[in-house]
């Protein structure tokens, strides 16, 4: 029986959540088939069975797992004979660092640049919920954040300096082959690419070249999704 992925949906069936993309890449890496159930931001009822309010959530037989990191760990535990996301406990621990770094240092900077673009691409029924929750979270309006994005761009780009340094010596964050650490950051790139025309990295940036390689993985799984951005 195929796994079911509950994932965020925006207007016109757009699937842009950075965390759901982490899970999409993880499932593709393992070679697991999955069906998706679209969930709107404000439709908490759709995932109430998971005991929390965020996507991604997967159902695999009678198992329900929420949170992209927990899902990646679960997939390796449940399917040890399929290609591992983490070849060792040490690799998993290092990827855990990248996950936390991305959640605390990368995504919070990039959301400030594209949050109004996200707003423009969500389902109309979610607009009130999104506006209220985000303006409360950021303490200002989405328009004010949008207006300040050029000023904030250098700081957001600089947050990726550790990745730039690593990519100078190796093609992927995980080394010679792409791995879960790459999927974590690619979730962020794919999210921005789908919802925003804003250029977050220049074409000569090693991060851009890496992103192009990531777009081609798994038969162009990420590339085939229509993008508003470069």
Contact 135, 21 (CB under 8 A): no
Taking the least distance from each CB to ligand GSH, the nearer of 16 and 210 is 16
Stretch of 30-38, 47-55, 142-150, 214-222 lying at the interface with ligand GSH (CB under 6 A) = 47-55
Alpha carbon distance 197, 229 (integer Å): 4
Q: Provide, rounded to whole angstroms, the least separation between the CB of residue 206 and ligand GSH.
A: 25
Shortest Å, Cβ 104 to ligand GSH: 11
Per rule CB under 6 A, is residue 198 in the interface with ligand GSH?
no
Q: Return the SS3 of 217.
A: helix
In terms of phi and psi (left: phi > 0; alpha: psi -120 to 50; beta: otherwise), the region of 70 is alpha
For the CB of residue 94, give the shortest distance to ligand GSH in the complex, in Å: 17
One residue of 60, 67, 76, 123 binding ligand GSH per CB under 6 A: 67
Residue with smaller CB distance to ligand GSH, 56 or 179: 56
Please pick, from the candidates 5, 14, 17, 25, the single residue that binds ligand GSH as defined by CB under 6 A. 17
The rounded distance, in Å, linking the Cα atoms of 1 and 55 is 21
- Residues near 23 by beta carbon (within 8 Å), at least 6 away in sequence: 5, 7, 56, 58, 68, 71, 72
19 is an interface residue for ligand GSH by CB under 6 A: yes
Q: Is the Cβ of residue 17 or residue 190 nearer to ligand GSH in the bound state?
A: 17
> Which is nearer to ligand GSH, 34 or 171 (by Cβ)?
34
Bridge partners (DSSP) of residue 57 are: 6, 66
What is the side-by-side order of every strand in the sheet holding 57-60? 34-39, 3-8, 57-60, 63-66
Candidates 62-70, 76-84, 139-147, 161-169: pick the segment binding ligand GSH (CB under 6 A): 62-70
Contacts (Cβ under 8 Å, ≥6 apart) of 109: 152, 155, 156, 159
Residue 145 DSSP symbol: H
- Please say which residue, 74 or 205, places its beta carbon nearer to ligand GSH: 74
Residue 55 interacts with ligand GSH (CB under 6 A): yes or no? yes
Q: Which residues contact ligand GSH by CB under 6 A?
A: 8, 17-19, 41, 53-56, 67-69
């Amino acid at each position: 029986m195929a796994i079911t992925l509950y994932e965020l949906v925006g207007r016109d069936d757009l699937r842009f959540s950075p965390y759901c993309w982490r899970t999409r890449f993880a499932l593709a890496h393992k070679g697991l088939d999955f069906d998706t159930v679209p969930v709107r931001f404000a439709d908490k009822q759709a995932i109430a069975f998971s005991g929390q309010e965020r996507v991604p959530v997967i159902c695999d037989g009678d198992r329900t797992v929420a949170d992209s990191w927990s899902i990646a760990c679960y997939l390796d535990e449940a399917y040890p004979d399929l290609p591992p996301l983490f070849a060792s406990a040490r690799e998993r621990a290092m990827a855990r660092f990248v996950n936390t770094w991305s959640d605390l240092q990368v995504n919070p900077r990039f959301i400030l640049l594209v949050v109004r673009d996200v707003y423009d691409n969500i389902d109309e029924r979610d607009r009130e919920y999104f506006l209220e929750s985000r303006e409360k979270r950021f303490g200002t309006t989405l328009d004010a954040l949008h207006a300040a994005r050029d000023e904030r761009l250098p700081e957001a780009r600089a947050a990726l300096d550790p990745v730039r340094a690593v990519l100078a010596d190796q093609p992927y964050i995980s080394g010679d082959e792409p791995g879960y650490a790459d999927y974590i950051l690619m979730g962020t790139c794919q999210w921005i690419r789908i919802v925003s025309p804003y250029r977050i990295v220049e074409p000569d940036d090693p991060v851009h070249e890496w992103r192009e390689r990531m777009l081609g993985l798994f038969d162009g799984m990420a590339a085939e999704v229509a993008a508003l951005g470069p």
